[in-house]
Structure 1
Amino acid sequence: GKKCIARTAAIWATWFFVNFSYYGAFTWMPSLLADQFGSLTKSFGYTLAIAVAQLPGYFLAAWLVEIWGRRKTLSVFLAVSAVAAFAFSQAGSVAAVLGFGMLLSASNLGAWGVLYAVTPEIYPTRLRAAASGAAAACGRVAAIIAPLLMPWFLTLSGGNKAVAFIVFAVAFILACVAALCLPERTGKELED
């Protein structure tokens, strides 16, 4: 019915925009940092530090979903991701790039972890597997598109990462709005 269509639209949008931002940003991260700081070797070290920040993001989100609930945790992590993506777009120093990059990484992957918990819970048993798979597939479409758009974003901005990360910040805002449209299922029985 209408309720299922609304849930599906919201979860597909969330999956799409989370994947779009993640794969757009992190596929190109070593190259972007090498261009900004002049060393591919250093950029791999910076990228590793940024990627390691994903772990605390996952753990924090896993803890908060049972305290705040799924929708609030997901929305907060997506909002923080938007702020971090924008701040990263403006970051010039190594410290700022690492700090905002790590915040982006932790909040983005924390949101992703919650998304994996939320998606199957919003569907009845007869639809759960297929609907969850379709939502993830929608995200995979974005995962293909975003890295292909990065050269265009860089061309628009004369090689500066700002345009791309502002686009990613907007995508996180759209994901956050979509996530706020999802039902809260924390502590509730799954639908049969």
Structure 2
Amino acid sequence: MADAVAAGGSAPPAAKGSEHGGQDGRVSVADRMNRIPTSPHTALIIFFVLMGWFAETIDLGGTSFLMPTIREYFGMDATTGGYYSSICFLGMFFGAIAAGRIADKVGRKKTIVASMLIWGVAGFALVFSPNVYYLFAMRFVLGLGLGAQFPVALSYLSEIVSGKDRPKFMTLYQLMTPVGFAVAGVLTVLILPHFDWRGVYLAEALPAFFVIGIIKICPESPLWLEAKGRYEEADAICAKFEQEAIARHKELPPVEVVVRSDAKMSFKDLFKSKYLKVTVLCFFVWFISMFSDYGLTTWLTTILIEKGFDVVQSTGFVTIGILGGIPAWFFASWSAKKFGRKKTFLIAGLCTSIFGIAYGASTTLVMLIVTGILYQFGKYLNAMMMALYTPELYETAIRTTGNGLATSWGRMGSIVGPIVLAGVMTSFGVYVTMYIAAAMVIIPGLLVFLFGPETKDKKF
């Protein structure tokens, strides 16, 4: 079967029960893609998708490090600073909702490219902010692009790699967040003492040029093309992946046919019986996780300054702690495959809450670094599981719509979190703020473990 594809470039004959086999003699592209191992070509596609999000996380993370400096430059109080952080997430909220639906209609690749162009242009424009109003406006536009890319790129990546490799690469995508945040911290430490915040923002906008690689290297998702009835295009892309795999491995495993529904789906289907449970589950998981994550991340440098460290020291401590995301990726890709998504989600919630509370109670340099790394391990483990788990809950026809809605609810939490925690910090101090934000993250893990479906063996 695979040899026929390699020789002629056409789809293999359909097996009984396949999605389109009874109609046009085809085996589903989704079934064919699911057995293809990662090739150098696939790895290059994955690289540019990862770099696209890596570039955005540098820009996203930079504001948390620059918050004290920007507040001082523009004369912002804590509440206004919270609004400045939240305005980006407001843009991400609208960007995620719109892009999810757009990508299901016009394609994954076009939407990813458009989102990168939007945030890239806004990132460069941010450098020239003459006043608070312009600063807020450009940050909102930048948020539109950031919010649009995340759910669509996640869905795209989940459709390009096989089910076997999905845990490794989906969690690797989310690993770009701590790496990008760490790079943002390094850029702040290196550039801020010599230039002002404009120089840091300029450096953080330059990686937007990775969009060129997306345009030139990445094909459209063959699963999306198939879902839209564009079978020849889908078969051609899939055949190229198959030919590359055969050249390396001589033969491919047999196609395992999965029966799927051909029914067309829309946004309102997310609130009907089939998806209502996971829609509600995703609301609580994403909202609570992002409320805690970005609510605390926005003020982490400020909290450390309140503990007696200066801006550069505080930025350095946060940057070191973020490196806890690297072992989180190794653990997530192994545990999700070995024990399943639900158990790994629960472990993530427990680690984040326990180590986050310990981080908040730390007063010495050594304890700050150790508990900071452990807290970031749990936090990014939780984020990686959200990135892996959410696209697996939906079918191809509605995947980016569902993923976009879920992440938009996360952006609600990102909007509310910095503002609420700013009030908590003002009224009750930095320790109570840390305790509340950290303790909340056990809730998403418990919800998934108790009520979520296990998607360990899910095939697209």
With the length of structure 2 as denominator, give the TM-score of the two structures: 0.39
- Runs of 4 or more consecutive aligned structure 1 residues displaced over 2 Å after TM superposition: 124-127
Count the aligned residue pairs. Answer: 188
1: distance between equivalents of 2:343 and 2:350?
10
* Structure 2 counterpart of 1:155, from 426, 435, 443: 426
Structure number with greater Rg is: 2
In structure 1, the residue matched to 2:78 is: none
Alpha-carbon shift at residue 70 of structure 1 (Å): 1.0
In structure 1, the residue matched to 2:455 is: 185
Alpha-carbon shift at residue 125 of structure 1 (Å): 2.7
Checking the alignment, whether the CA contact within 8 Å between 2:298 and 2:418 is kept in structure 1 is yes
SS across alignment from 2:440: helix
In structure 2, the residue matched to 1:31 is: 302
SS across alignment from 2:339: coil
SS across alignment from 2:441: helix
2: distance between equivalents of 1:87 and 1:186?
32
2: distance between equivalents of 1:168 and 1:176?
15
2: distance between equivalents of 1:52 and 1:90?
20
Checking the alignment, whether the CA contact within 8 Å between 1:11 and 1:182 is kept in structure 2 is no
Checking the alignment, whether the CA contact within 8 Å between 2:348 and 2:379 is kept in structure 1 is yes
In structure 2, the residue matched to 1:129 is: 400
Checking the alignment, whether the CA contact within 8 Å between 2:349 and 2:443 is kept in structure 1 is no
Q: Which amino acid aligns with 2:377?
A: A
1: distance between equivalents of 2:383 and 2:309?
31
In structure 2, the residue matched to 1:20 is: 291
Q: Which amino acid aligns with 1:172?
A: V
Checking the alignment, whether the CA contact within 8 Å between 1:37 and 1:43 is kept in structure 2 is no
Checking the alignment, whether the CA contact within 8 Å between 1:17 and 1:171 is kept in structure 2 is yes
Identity of aligned residues (%): 23
In structure 2, the residue matched to 1:174 is: 443
Alpha-carbon shift at residue 89 of structure 1 (Å): 2.2
Unaligned runs of 5+ in 2: 1-271
SS across alignment from 2:283: helix
* Structure 2 counterpart of 1:68, from 323, 332, 339: 339
1: distance between equivalents of 2:394 and 2:411?
20
**Residues 7-156 of structure 1 correspond to what in structure 2 (within 5 A)?**
7-156=278-427
Change (3 A) 1:71 1:34: same
Q: Which amino acid aligns with 2:278?
A: R
More RCO (CA 8 Å, sep 6+): 1
Unaligned runs of 5+ in 1: none
Deviations 1:44-73 (A, max 9, x none): 111110112222212321221111111111
SS across alignment from 1:123: coil
Alpha-carbon shift at residue 3 of structure 1 (Å): 4.8
Alpha-carbon shift at residue 100 of structure 1 (Å): 1.5
